[in-house]
Amino acid sequence: MHHFRYVRGKLYCEGVSVESLIKKHGSPLYVYSQKTLTEHFSKLDQALAPLDHMICYAMKANSNLAVMRTLANLGSGFDVVSEGELRRVIAAGGNPKKCVFAGVGKTEQEIEFALRKGIYSFNVESEPELIRINKVAARLKKIAPVAVRVNPNVDAGTHAKITTGTYENKFGIQFEQVEDVYARASKLKNIWLRGIQMHIGSQLTDVKPFESAVKKILPLVQKLTAKYKFEFFSIGGGLGIVYKPALASGSAEWWKTTDAKDILTPSLYAERLVPQLKALGLKILIEPGRFIAGNAGILVTRVEYVKQTGKKNFVIVDAAMNDLIRPAFYDSYHEIVPLNQKNGATVSSDVVGPICESGDTFCKDRPLPRVGEGDYLALLSAGAYGFVMASNYNSRGTVAEVLVNGNKAAVVRARQPVQEIWKTEKIPAWL
Ligand code: LLP
């Protein structure tokens, strides 16, 4: 579900034509739909209504301040993974008391900052980390709320680089060790065993791995809750989205298929998990990132050249892997549609960026409408893990971001001037 669609042959984001944004703000450009963000949050919130729950948006997916403010206004908490992210929550007007802090490598400084801001819980990923949190809390004369992240050893069946819940991964504490870790943690004076957490992976389009993981971990949660009076259980994030609609690229009604039946909807997720979770009587936390932001954003890019090599039809665009790394990094699929709908025959095309690497490819041998220099394409479902993973590779400045709300649009990040890229670099005196 999202609010990007053709109106009289032109791509719109809500009530604004994307072409008008490009004319004003240039290319490449990330465009976000506030209504889509809001609806995703609300759908999930409603599906979980039978539970005492808190949504902690995994801001790593898209941490633009305007996106964050949109969600903070809806009452969202945040899943943070660094001091920088926690500072961003504060800058966006979010509440640190609704934040959980995950990640395997929290530094002392980060722990101290989070303790001073009074976060809801640390999601602890190892015993040495627990000991470190206790030490910092003792120094600050504070009690640190923690939850152990359980690695349930369930294969989520997603891309190897985004699977997190098996013993091959660096995350969490092995299921079999969790009870002993809690027993030892209960002896640490500045630790409050507030809850327990799990996260099995990202982009799960099937409810079964969630069901298996919850089923596996539930008896342990009950046992430990009885012992330590837990307040919450966090089931992590991972809800997948539709990247590849059932209808062909650019076909008149492609967006309608983003609600494809085989996708993990909040209602299906809730139908299978809520009864099990309700029985626990705990507050339930969920940490969705991609589900909220993924389909709420597109990356718009200009066609610079079309190059036919005999074997291939290369569509060379002005966006590159430094702007959206997902296809290069995970071989991931992003739907590509022209801003102006085209009805003629399709051409098998490779859409590539200007970066000097073969991996700088957004799609290969994909039937796309015939486009030429000066046309614009939109890479869909780029709202999560898009801009946030951008780099300055090839000394390319990061692109601008725009947020649309109905008929209004605002630049929520300016395009980075290239001089800024080397602003903090220095040439030593001997050169
Ligand atoms: N909670 C924890 C502990 C996580 O590690 C993650 C994501 C989430 C929640 C949010 O997961 P989501 O609901 O967004 O699936 N860059 C990759 C995805 C990396 C996910 C890392 N952890 C991609 O572009 O597919």
Give strand ranges (E) for 256-385: 283-286, 297-308, 313-317, 336-338, 346-352, 361-369, 376-379
Q: pLDDT at position 262, please?
A: 60
| Catalytic, out of 13, 99, 356, 363 | 356
Domain 296-422 has CATH 3.30.2290.10: no
Q: What is the pLDDT of residues 160-172, one digit of tens each?
A: 666 666 777 888 9
Alpha carbons 55 and 356: distance in angstroms, whole number: 41
Alpha carbons 124 and 149: distance in angstroms, whole number: 6
- Distance from the alpha carbon of residue 91 to the mean position of ligand 1, in angstroms: 22
The amino acid that residue 159 corresponds to is H
Under a CB-based contact definition with an 8 Å cutoff, are residues 276 and 215 in contact?
A: yes
Question: Which residue has its alpha carbon closest to ligand 1 atom 22?
Answer: 202
- Distance from the alpha carbon of residue 78 to the mean position of ligand 1, in angstroms: 13
- Distance from the alpha carbon of residue 204 to the mean position of ligand 1, in angstroms: 10
Choosing from 100, 126, 290 the residue with most ligand 1 atoms within 8 A of its CB, the one to mutate for a pocket test is 290
Q: What would be the CATH architecture of the domain defined by 34-290?
A: Alpha-Beta Barrel (3.20)
Tokens read off for 250: 């650019």
Q: Is the CB of 287 inside a 6 Å radius of any atom of ligand 1?
A: yes
- Distance from the alpha carbon of residue 109 to the mean position of ligand 1, in angstroms: 24
Closest CA to 15 of 36, 1, 30: 36
Q: pLDDT at position 261, please?
A: 53
Alpha carbons 14 and 19: distance in angstroms, whole number: 13
Looking at ligand 1, which atom is closest to the CA of residue 239? 13
Looking at ligand 1, which atom is closest to the CA of residue 325? 24
The amino acid that residue 253 corresponds to is E
Q: Is the CB of 78 inside a 6 Å radius of any atom of ligand 1?
A: no
pLDDT per residue rounded down to tens, the chain (431 residues): 789 999 999 999 999 999 999 999 999 999 999 999 999 999 999 999 999 999 999 999 999 999 999 999 999 999 999 999 999 999 999 999 999 999 999 999 999 999 999 999 999 999 999 999 999 999 999 999 999 999 988 877 666 666 666 777 888 999 999 999 999 999 999 999 999 999 999 999 999 999 999 999 999 999 999 999 999 999 999 999 999 876 555 455 555 554 445 678 999 999 999 999 999 999 999 999 999 999 999 999 999 999 999 899 999 999 999 999 999 999 999 999 999 998 889 999 999 999 999 999 999 999 999 999 999 999 999 999 999 999 999 999 999 999 999 999 999 999 999 999 999 999 999 99
**Residue 354 CB contacts under 8 Å (≥ 6 apart), including other chains:** 304, 316, 317, 318, 320, 360, 394
- Per-residue exposure over 269-278, b if at least 16 CB sit within 10 Å of its own CB, e if not: bbeebbeebe
Q: Is the CB of 288 inside a 6 Å radius of any atom of ligand 1?
A: yes
Q: Is the CB of 202 inside a 6 Å radius of any atom of ligand 1?
A: yes
- Concatenated DSSP letters for 28-50? SEEEEEHHHHHHHHHHHHHHTTT
Q: Supply the pTM of this predicted model.
A: 0.96
- Concatenated DSSP letters for 177-239? GHHHHHHHHTT-TTEEEEEEEE--BS-B--SHHHHHHHHHHHHHHHHHHHHH---EEE----B
Alpha carbons 88 and 98: distance in angstroms, whole number: 14
Closest CA to 362 of 310, 319, 309, 302: 319
Q: Is the CB of 320 inside a 6 Å radius of any atom of ligand 1?
A: no
Q: pLDDT at position 343, please?
A: 85
Q: pLDDT at position 259, please?
A: 46
Under a CB-based contact definition with an 8 Å cutoff, are residues 137 and 114 in contact?
A: no
Looking at ligand 1, which atom is closest to the CA of residue 159? 25
Q: pLDDT at position 18, please?
A: 98
Q: Is the CB of 386 inside a 6 Å radius of any atom of ligand 1?
A: no
CA 135, chain centre distance (Å): 32
- Distance from the alpha carbon of residue 288 to the mean position of ligand 1, in angstroms: 8
The amino acid that residue 292 corresponds to is I
Alpha carbons 134 and 16: distance in angstroms, whole number: 51
- Distance from the alpha carbon of residue 201 to the mean position of ligand 1, in angstroms: 7
Looking at ligand 1, which atom is closest to the CA of residue 291? 13
Q: Is the CB of 182 inside a 6 Å radius of any atom of ligand 1?
A: no
Q: Is the CB of 14 inside a 6 Å radius of any atom of ligand 1?
A: no
* Residue 99 appears among annotated catalytic residues: no
Instruction: Note if the bond before 28 is cis, omega within 30 degrees.
Output: yes
Q: What is the pLDDT of residues 99-121, one digit of tens each?
A: 999 999 999 999 999 999 999 99
Closest CA to 171 of 159, 185, 183, 161: 161
Q: Hey, where are the domains in the chain?
A: 34-290, 296-422
- Distance from the alpha carbon of residue 424 to the mean position of ligand 1, in angstroms: 30
Question: Which residue has its alpha carbon closest to ligand 1 atom 7?
Answer: 202
Alpha carbons 34 and 76: distance in angstroms, whole number: 15
